[in-house]
Amino acid sequence: MEGNVIHAPDTPKNFPRPSIFLAGTTTPLPNGDNWRKNLVNRLANSKITFLDPTRKDWDETWKEDASDQRWADQVDWEMKMRETADIVVVFFHGSTLAPISLLELGLSAKSRNVIVCAMPGYQKRGYVEAVCKLHKCTLVTSEEELVSAVKEKFGLHYELWMRKGDDKVKMSDLVDFVPEYP
């Protein structure tokens, strides 16, 4: 995976902005792809920091219970990073009901800084559509649309080019501009 990705449990005090928390299903897509890796790779040159809750050391010994400190620390990390992020992306597909992802959507929707991808075939799509409509969240139906929505949200749709002698140069290669966020 390329790009600037912070995985749980890493908690830097400061990280480059803008940032996206990658909420949503951890179950692989039906074709075996990983939607988080796909999104990060498609936006690798964007200077976005991705806050990714997936971790390599998660295994079947973890209990979804506050008595398991590993699990409690993970949930705490996810809550803090979701609140810290400039945008929350929530991803749903038909391979799972994703109850935790529905909770993440509910916790984040009022901020309106949420982009939701609910793939066709997701069983709770009607509920997701209703929440997005109520809270004016961006709703898309494919990974391709998700990439476009993130680019639009951060103003990354247009690449400016200029001539430098006989060469054509991207303006972003000449200027390291990242807007300030409060």
| pLDDT tens track for 131-154 | 999 999 999 999 999 999 999 998
Domains of the chain: 4-174 (3.40.50.450)
Give the model confidence (pLDDT) of 72-123 as tens digits: 999 999 999 999 999 999 999 988 899 999 999 999 999 879 999 999 999 9
Q: How confident is the model at residue 161 (pLDDT cuts 50, 70, 90)?
A: very low
Per-residue pLDDT at 179: 47
Average pLDDT over residues 44-66: 90
pTM over 0.85: no
Q: What are phi and psi of 38, to 5 degrees?
A: -60, -45
Q: What share of the chain in percent tops pLDDT 90?
A: 62
**pLDDT at residue 5 is higher than 50:** yes
Helices (H), the chain: 35-42, 69-84, 99-108, 125-135, 143-153, 171-174
- Positive or negative, the CA dihedral 120, 125, 126, 130 is negative
Lowest mean pLDDT among 1-15, 53-67, 98-112: 1-15
The whole-chain average pLDDT of the chain stands at 85
Nearest C-alpha neighbor of 115 from the set 5, 14, 18: 18
Structure tokens at 27: 């179950």
